[in-house]
Structure 1
Amino acid sequence: IIYEYLPTVKAKYGDQVEWALLDVANSDVYEALVLLGKAAQLPEDAVGAVPTIYIGGLLLVGDNQIEANLEQAIDYILERGGVDFPSWVIVEPTPVPTPSTAPTVTSAVTPQPTATEQANKPLAVAYFTKVGCLECDRVAAALHALQGRYPALQVDIFDIETNGALAEWLGDRCGVPEDKRLVTPAVFMGQDALIGEEVTYDNLKAMVERYAATGAEATWVNFDPNQQTAAQNSLIERFRSFGVMTILGAGLVDGINPCAFTTVILFISYLALTGRKGWEIIATGLAFTLGVFIVYVALGMGLFKVLEAVPFFQGTMSILRTVVFALTGVLCLVLAVAAFQDFLKARKGRSKEITLRLPDRLRLQINRVIRTGARRRAFVPAAFVTGLLVSLIELACTGQVYWPTIVFVMQMPELRTRAFLYLLFYNLAFILPLVIVFVLAYLGVTTAERLGRFLRRWMWAIKLATAVFFLMIAVLVLYFSITPMLNLMGGVA
């Protein structure tokens, strides 16, 4: 945004727009950003997120929202005579920076309190993250801002996948329940811990303030081999307590998570609307499911390390996941309305007027395309590649306790075989909902072909059930997507 997008906007508007760049590493600036987010009633996971642009009472959060709305907002404000910088901050007007220039910023927000009493006392924080953690960028920015307010604050960052024993030990030491000890993001300080949704700027600040006078040692530095062995033994005992049925149950529950299920709904809708039949549904389903399975097994065996080397992976996958959520929710809502209208028509004996079917002319054209060998051969590999990509988008849906524990135990030679089998069981259960959906789609098609007369008789009941099903999926998916979608696409004033 700073080095690529904003310079083009600066060139477009010239002297009509004055720019000020505020660095969230300054704790005053970050706290102002948090207050703005709260005033705008942003969801908790969007408060304090960067990059953010504030213009004329409009708060634009994230790359997508800025690029989609900034120029429109500038045009709107210019048409109405412009707007001054907000009164709560005093800045020297600066040009949009280039990589070789640095802006001068003078903040007039609430003055930073002195910290002389704890200047010589360490304030150590252990921060655990992992690839695919959707909240970790915001947490990292919050911790960085707190370092500006508390110069003695030391933040040590650990990957949960390779430091599971340390996370287990700290969790046990701080009284974290077992079912939350490998959840990310996680922050430990002294005898306190913040896990998952608890890791907000306000909670982090309160935790640091509790130790400002007394200090907090980096207890993890003294994590000796005996303690590591005890923590590993705790993880191993938990691993051994899982049992096959526990692993299968965890995989099945994660498999019906909206992250995974929404894409299946999109695929089935596409297959139905394009007239795919019989074996094509099975082939497509198998290819898609195989792609998902391969990626998750590879992740469990170490692909995390490869993904960690890709700097844009986390943000890109988060955006794609949110977009898929929202599109699927809207699609299911439209299909629910259309199916209910079809129910009313079928109930009145007007089955030929139903909406959710293709016109005969278009159906015949699609069938001709499907019969083309090249098209047919290309669709299955496309489904396989889609499964691979969707698996990366769904990465945050993996079990917060079972999955990290299995991955950690995979590093131990004496348990590697059992851990690998559990990994396979988990992933087989994870893809089971996908298999069921595709099989039901196949059976629905073949049954419809054999029992067309029966289905026409009960068309009204089928349409009603379809409407209820799509409505339930729409409500579920939109519930999980509306909050992050506001962060990406909405203009929140």
Structure 2
Amino acid sequence: MAHKMVMKTVLLMVAFMVFVAVAGSARADVTMAYFYADDCAVCDELHPFMEELENLSYVTIESYKISSDPYRPNENDSLLADISYAYHSVDNIPVVFLANQWFYFGVEGQMELTKEKLLATVDELKEYEVESPIKDGKLQYPKPVSVLLVYNTSKHERVADAVSALEENISFVRIATLDIRYPENMSVFAHLPQSKTPVAFIGEQNYSLDNLSYLVESAAKYEKIGIDFPAAYEEKPICILFFYKSTCSSCLSVKAKLETLAGKYPLEITEYDIIESKNNDLLLAYYDSYNITRSHNTNIFIGDRYFYSESQLREVEKIIKAHLGTGLECPEAGEANAEKLLEGYTLLTVILGGLLDGINPCAFATLVFFIAYLERARKEAIIPIGLSFSAGIYICYLMIGIGLLEFMNVVRQTVSLYLYFGVGVMALILGVFSIVDFFSIRRGRAAVLQLPLFLKKRRGRIIRHITEDKKITVLALIALAVGFAISALEFACTGQVLIPVITVIQGATSLRAVAVLYLVIYTALFILPLLILLALFHVGYSSTRIGEMQKRSYGYAKLFIGIFLLSLGIIMLLYFFGFISLHYAFG
């Protein structure tokens, strides 16, 4: 066995030396792209072969070193991802891209065979001028075999069988069809060197469709380097509108892949960064035209279709192929309508979350406690001071919500889908504890989820301090500040509802203005129970009676919050594991 391996290696070396000797007369340049890494053992093993290959007078190797650290990729890592997507190749090293071909050397036991295939391809292409697959960071290959099929439906001519045969047998094929039944197409056909249909054009050569095997065989000759349509034929452009967020890594990945498709097809891609407000407004107008009620960071409009995910790009490519020859005009925008983004279950989730958070015993008890002290101090000051106190809570809680939204946007860009898993698990745990608290309260035991004792004492000291004898105006200003401070202290308890709701808001819209509007609604509903308590006190309810009401509702508030959190947690985990789409869960 070892003897055979040695003999095979010797024969390959001899073949390579003969190949080098014969290659001296070649004139054309063959340029390839080689991706490798420093700490790659297979790359080290391949290195001598690549050096010998580059010694050929007509071979140029452009080397691209990628990072071996997945957490610190360099620009060549994204370049490898893009070119692998374009070639439908493995996204791994060591790999060589040459014209329309790719050669991966990482398969165990296949390196020598892959070397032979690469040498054979170089030998075959040495008579051509094969440019680099990459130029100025853009892909020049793969280049399709462009085939123009001309037919006349008024004569009942069809080209479906030719299309199927070419697509099944040619890796990179671009097929345009021209029905000369229509006058505008007949004028194009008049400039082509053929008057009989149906006919196929590969470059400037024409082929009858009577012999599909010969047509495929002729097209296959250009499979490794590609060929353009005849000069007399001008492709009709296909318009794509691409709205994306420049701070979103997945959006940039989609952007790069669309640019790759533009190298293969006659695309006119217009890009809009939705961080700019004018582009946001335009996106809303297209949402209105396409009846889209859910916003995304990535938005692709092509013809009458809408796409929002990298996983849908293959479907986008199918639509492009279906319109080669006919082209697609840019879609028209309707009128911007941000209200549509507030439709559906997202708004219901925000409303329920805000109300349940507002009856959270942590928040509820604070105002009762505050009113009790004011009741002993100055009754005429209760309403103005209570409103100021509620306003302080509102301002602080809204600021906390906006801060969390911005923070979680950054987290989402980094960990993407895993954010839903983390928040979903957290919501389930808090939901279970809330329901456990419901049963504990019914048995007369203390709740698990409540404000820590040291924060309760600090809250009491602050309220006692501000209810000392002062003017109403001063008390109101102090109450505003204290409401702000106490809202921050209580977030340790009230945040159990806010964080899952913000995650839902993130899934509902990528538009900051709409997300903030959701938070404004949420926070208004959060302080609504406090305002109702003030109204009850104003019409004659004592703090003692209000406190008793709060105690009676304490357990049920825990129960409703628990059910709400469990529901959100289950939905987020179902989304994480791919069982549902948030587009339908909250759309």
For the aligned pair, the TM-score class normalised by the smaller chain equals 0.3 to 0.5
Higher helix share: 1
Structure number with greater Rg is 2
- TM-score, scaled relative to structure 2: 0.41
Higher strand share: 2
